[in-house]
Amino acid sequence: MKSILLIIPYIGKWPLWFDAHLVSMAKNPTINWLFITDCEIPEKFPENVQFIKTTFVELNQKINNSLDVKVVLSARKLCDIRPAFGKIFKEYIDGYHFWGFCDVDIIWGNIRKFITDDLLEEYDIISALENMACGHFTIFKNHEKNLNIYKNDPDYKKVFEAPKHLRYDEIGLTNIITKLCEEGQTKILWDEKLLKNGIKSEVHQEYFLDRWLYENDSVYDLYDSNKKEYMYLHFINWKRTMKFCEVSYTDNPHQFYISYNGMHYQPHSKISRILNDFKNRFNGYWVQQYWRYKKMRLNSLKKRINRKIELAIKNII
């Protein structure tokens, strides 16, 4: 079986759902995770998870020394550095067949069910987005070309040293991989048909109750008529609405539910779900997105009108 190490530098404070995150990692004993962090290391954690204690300053120095750059590090800027994780943390990936990066706002399902040894044998890179490098899950075959993949961009130092977060782990890396594929230098799995089998996670979603079920090392969409199984759930727009997590790693649970507002062992009542669905009609995620878009368009229109007024005044004067 081909080995995989997922690397997560994490600065700040563990999210409230971290115990549930650890539970889902423990149920994937043949996948390894490495946290480089200034957070307090949990008293109990899975055998396939390793924690390396560091400080923000030490991590910044390691990145700069490894890449010969002058990065002004921030939690968001770490995402831009992801394509170089293989180089930065080379001492930890030695001996692994694949290394990669991922997010923490994730509940993992049965990874090996979707990322098979046949796929790992065939592809140099696997992404969980169609035709795009995926910030929440991309893995690389552990060879020299992939360790230095970021160097295929002649401007990588400018990108790494820019203080602004540029989404380089997705946009910039996608450009690099696309060019390498066109030149026949690498082979990547980011095909829509394959990803639809469940490798691709749901991302932005409505504020549902009890939509997701974690059960016996698998993640299921309970709002799908066939109870579709996914490799993982990435709840990017729910992390701001998560208020509680009943799940404890030491409970060793075999099942729990994931709602927009928390993770819990028992489902909500039918009336609670009906009332929540009714609320979403007026103030759900997609309604809020609609009004954000309208506000953005209105502000843009106001700016254009103001510029025209200012120009007209100047011409009169």
What is the tens place of the pLDDT at every residue in 17-33?
999 999 999 999 999 99
What's the token pair of residue 233?
């759930």
Q: Are residues 273 and 293 in the same domain?
A: no
With 0.85 as the threshold, say if the pTM is over it: yes
Q: Are residues 241 and 113 in the same domain?
A: no
- Report the 10 Å Cβ neighbour count for 233: 24
Residue 272: the pLDDT is 96
C-alpha 3: how far from its chain's center?
20
Q: Are residues 180 and 219 in the same domain?
A: no
Q: Are residues 261 and 304 in the same domain?
A: no
Residues β-bridged to residue 214:
219, 256
What's the token pair of residue 274?
């009906």
Alpha helices in 50-110 (DSSP H): 56-67, 77-81, 85-88, 90-93
Q: Which residue has the tokens 């293989």?
A: 86
Q: Are residues 305 and 224 in the same domain?
A: no
Predicted confidence (pLDDT) per residue in 63-78, tens digit: 999 999 999 999 999 9
Q: Are residues 186 and 207 in the same domain?
A: no
Q: Are residues 55 and 76 in the same domain?
A: yes
Write out the residue range of the structural domain in which residue 147 sits.
Answer: 4-197
180, 197, 214 — which closes off a domain? 197
Residue 280: the pLDDT is 94
182, 197, 212 — which closes off a domain? 197
- CB of 188 within 8 A of CB of 124? yes
Residue 244: the pLDDT is 98
- Rounded to whole angstroms, the Cα distance separating 82 from 162 reads 15
Q: What is the CATH number of the domain that holds 120?
A: 3.90.550
What are the strands, taking DSSP E only, across the chain? 4-10, 31-37, 49-53, 98-102, 106-108, 125-127, 137-141, 188-189, 212-215, 218-221, 229-230, 232-234, 244-245, 255-259, 262-264
Structural domain tally of the chain? 3
DSSP reduced 3-state for 302: helix
- Report the 10 Å Cβ neighbour count for 19: 21
Q: Are residues 90 and 124 in the same domain?
A: yes
- CB of 87 within 8 A of CB of 20? no
197, 229, 253 — which closes off a domain? 197
Q: Which residues of the chain have pLDDT under 70?
A: 317
Q: Are residues 91 and 145 in the same domain?
A: yes
Residue 64: the pLDDT is 97
Alpha-carbon Rg for the chain, nearest whole angstrom, is 22
